[in-house]
Structure 1
Amino acid sequence: MINFEYYNPAKIIFGKGVENGVGREVAKYGKRVLLHYGGGSIKRNGLYDRVVTSLKAEGLYVAELGGVQPNPRLSLVRKGVEICRENRIDFILAVGGGSTIDSSKAIAAAMRCKDDIWDYYLYDDKPIEGALPVGVVLTIPAAGSESSDSSVITNEDGNYKRYIGGECLIPKFAFMNPEVTFTMPPHQIANGCSDIVAHLMERYFTRVKHVDFTDRLIEGAIRTILYHGPMALENPTDYDVRAEIMWAGTVAHNNLLNTGRIGDWASHDIEHELSAQYDIAHGAGLSIVFPAWMKYVYKTDIDKFVQFAVRVFDVSLAFDDPEKIVFEMIARLESWYRKMGLPTRLSDVGIGEEHLREMAEKCLAERDGRNGLGNFRALHVEDIYRIYKLAL
């Protein structure tokens, strides 16, 4: 286990009806609020009205910006910055899932950074200089952005998808009511569960030894999603099932499970190019990329993969060949993805070979190509290209 510091100040307010108190919490940090959200679902299910009523009850000034899309766009971030400056906004409230929260964080950072916000996403060595405070009313359990220190944005000019990180991006609070997820379409629940599992696997596959405590925490969290994910599709209004998924999604990405270890994150970067190029859902891209990544890198530390197979997927050690154990695990993972209605091949979503080389090269663009991508095994352009080919 390596040395670590853990800090996460995000206040979690969890349970039925908690969003009715959001105004009181916002008032602790600001008086002029940008309410940022996606499409019309929060208006159809009444959440918008409850949030606005709570904000108005505290005498807060509210400006609005809707229209956040999956794979949130830089152009909308720039529009949000204009609104914040025109209205002297001092707090941003994200009502939505990971895309809305990431867009809110980008706007918040742009308001405090002296250079163009995209420069901070594009270059790894350019730390952000601060951000307006952000709060969250979570509607989609998936990305974990409600208490993470990162934001991912897509620049439509060139189809680049990049991230920034910093403690100032951790939301001040997150209101989390599993009831607001009842009306989510099945594909959103499936993509969300895929994203949660991916966040956990990115942390799990580490070269750091003697991290058994966090290994077992991650294993338990993954098993929770594997068990409850299909139940959420079968019983959309089961509060307890949705609560398990929502809380697991937060813990999966609040950096608690990073402690003492170094995760990989190559699969996320590989998927970012995929969803930037084709605008597919992040969770669907991950269900395609992760099995291919596993097939390509497992020999780097086959014992870690065998441990994962046995502890998470109950693969029997009666398989006398470690490689058979690993490939049985991958088959079971892919079977779970398909049970959730997710793709496991690029061909499942109509993607062919046309842009594979281009995406592989973009993965390392503006990065130090000598070091490669990922921490479990350093991947270079040819490695990434072969993973894309395996995913066909």
Structure 2
Amino acid sequence: MKNFIYETPTKVYFGAGEELRVGKLVKEFSPKKVLIHYGGKSAKESGLLDRVKKCLNDEKIAFVELGGVIANPELSLVRKGIDLCLREGVDFILAVGGGSVMDSSKDIANGAANPEIDVWDFSLRKAEPKKTIPKGAILTLAAAGSEMSNSCVITNAETGEKRGYSSSFNRMNFAIENPELTFSVNAYQTACGIVDIAMHTIERYFCPGEETYLTDSIAEAVIKSVMKAGKDCLKNPNDYTARANMMWASSLAHNGLTGCGREFQLVVHQLEHEVSGMYPKISHGAGLAALWCSWARYVYKSNVNRFLQYAKNVWNLDIDFEHPEKTVECAIDLQEKFYASIGMPTNLKMLGVKKESLEKLALDCSRNKTRSLIGYKPLAYEDILKIFELAYE
């Protein structure tokens, strides 16, 4: 087991009606003015935004609003939010939405607190935030896990770059999780969420590290639970138990718990960021589904035993000790069939990615052949290109 630091400073308020606490929770930070940051019309049409504003008004908390966050949140709106915060004297940010809204809020908070630094430099890892503005979240989509993670992913639409960075300043001070707020999430986005949640833990599971059987057991439980809960959500969108388990899995899958003692890099996420950076209409979860099985087939021989453990403990397969590779390949096939069963793509062609884009995707992911992705099998440019090619077929 490798050395690690585990930090989860976000206080979670979980359950039905918990969003009605928001005024009192924000008041604890004694803000002069709050920025309410959200996405599109759903926050308004559902009445959630009105309930949030009433809670703030009841506590006599001043606020301004900034909507318009889209999937794969854009740098241009982050810059607009920073300008708004500086102009209005905002000293608390409240994210109302899913992972995109939360990541945009994190970047705004860091940019407004460090106005002397170009906020895009955080994403490029040319600079690190020195401080941040306090922030909280009301979660409306179980997927990204941004409510408890230290990561932030932003897209620069002008350059087609999608970049993420980690920082302790990216942690939310609190997160409100009411599963009822996800009842209206459509089947496709629910399925994208299933994939994203599971992948946050699956990828940690296949990072280098040994003798992490406690972490492994937690990870396996999260993976199996989100697949069951997700299927139940698709059968009945108003199933509170299923939505609750999926929402809690979202938080646990990306707060670091399921990777303790293992080396950390979400490799398939790195591949997918290039895809949805170039094709911004592609949902993150769908891109992950289209890539993971090809990555697994390319790398599994570098650690067959690890994949056998996954096959046995997640997919309940009996190990063929004479032909162990067949067991691994069966597990990968089962995961691919699961993706198809929930309406997710299983290759890049299904997402509309053009074959002529693959070389550029590999060049960008390898930072023009200067970076290799870590793992049991490190992936240089040639490896990355091969995975993209396999994922296209």
Aligned to 1:19: 19
Distance in 2 (CA, whole Å) between partners of 1:110 and 1:163 is: 15
Aligned to 1:136: 137
Aligned to 2:345: 343
> What residue identity is the alignment partner of 1:220?
A
Distance in 2 (CA, whole Å) between partners of 1:117 and 1:162 is: 12
User: Are residue 361 (structure 1) and residue 363 (structure 2) matched?
Assistant: yes
User: Are residue 43 (structure 1) and residue 44 (structure 2) matched?
Assistant: yes
**Is the 2:32–2:89 contact (alpha carbons within 8 Å) kept by the matching residues of 1?**
no
Shift of 1:326: 1.0
Aligned to 1:34: 35
Higher mean C-alpha deviation, range 299-308 or range 348-357: 348-357
> What residue identity is the alignment partner of 2:302?
T
User: Are residue 173 (structure 1) and residue 174 (structure 2) matched?
Assistant: yes
Distance in 2 (CA, whole Å) between partners of 1:376 and 1:19 is: 43
**Is the 2:201–2:259 contact (alpha carbons within 8 Å) kept by the matching residues of 1?**
no
% identity of equivalent residues:
42
| Equivalence map 1:120-135=2 (5 Å) | 120-123=122-125, 126-135=127-136
SS at match of 1:13: strand
Distance in 2 (CA, whole Å) between partners of 1:132 and 1:364 is: 33
Aligned to 1:3: 3
> What residue identity is the alignment partner of 1:58?
E
Shift of 1:263: 3.1
| Equivalence map 1:139-288=2 (5 Å) | 139-279=140-280, 280-288=282-290
TM-score, normalization by structure 2: 0.97
SS at match of 1:174: strand
Distance in 2 (CA, whole Å) between partners of 1:91 and 1:231 is: 37
Aligned to 1:95: 96
SS at match of 1:262: coil
- Per-residue CA deviation, residues 171-209 of structure 1 (Å, 9 max, x unaligned), is 000000000100111111100110001101111002211
Distance in 2 (CA, whole Å) between partners of 1:31 and 1:176 is: 25
Aligned to 2:309: 307
> What residue identity is the alignment partner of 1:176?
E
SS at match of 2:83: helix
Distance in 2 (CA, whole Å) between partners of 1:77 and 1:155 is: 10
> What residue identity is the alignment partner of 2:7?
Y
Distance in 1 (CA, whole Å) between partners of 2:102 and 2:382 is: 34
User: Are residue 294 (structure 1) and residue 296 (structure 2) matched?
Assistant: yes
> What residue identity is the alignment partner of 1:52?
K
Aligned to 1:82: 83
Distance in 2 (CA, whole Å) between partners of 1:339 and 1:53 is: 42
Shift of 1:165: 1.2
Aligned to 2:113: 112
SS at match of 1:354: helix
Shift of 1:318: 4.1
> What residue identity is the alignment partner of 2:382?
E
> What residue identity is the alignment partner of 2:260?
T
> What residue identity is the alignment partner of 2:199?
A
- Per-residue CA deviation, residues 225-261 of structure 1 (Å, 9 max, x unaligned), is 1112111011000101100000011000111222211
> What residue identity is the alignment partner of 1:329?
A
**Is the 1:144–1:254 contact (alpha carbons within 8 Å) kept by the matching residues of 2?**
yes
Shift of 1:336: 0.7
**Is the 1:97–1:141 contact (alpha carbons within 8 Å) kept by the matching residues of 2?**
yes
SS at match of 1:376: coil
Shift of 1:264: 3.6
Distance in 2 (CA, whole Å) between partners of 1:106 and 1:234 is: 36
Distance in 2 (CA, whole Å) between partners of 1:48 and 1:126 is: 34
Which contiguous aligned blocks of 4+ residues in structure 1 show a shift greater than 3 angstroms? Answer: none
**Is the 1:264–1:376 contact (alpha carbons within 8 Å) kept by the matching residues of 2?**
no
> What residue identity is the alignment partner of 2:293?
P
> What residue identity is the alignment partner of 2:336?
E
Alignment match of 1:323 (pick from 325, 328, 340): 325
Higher mean C-alpha deviation, range 101-110 or range 320-329: 320-329
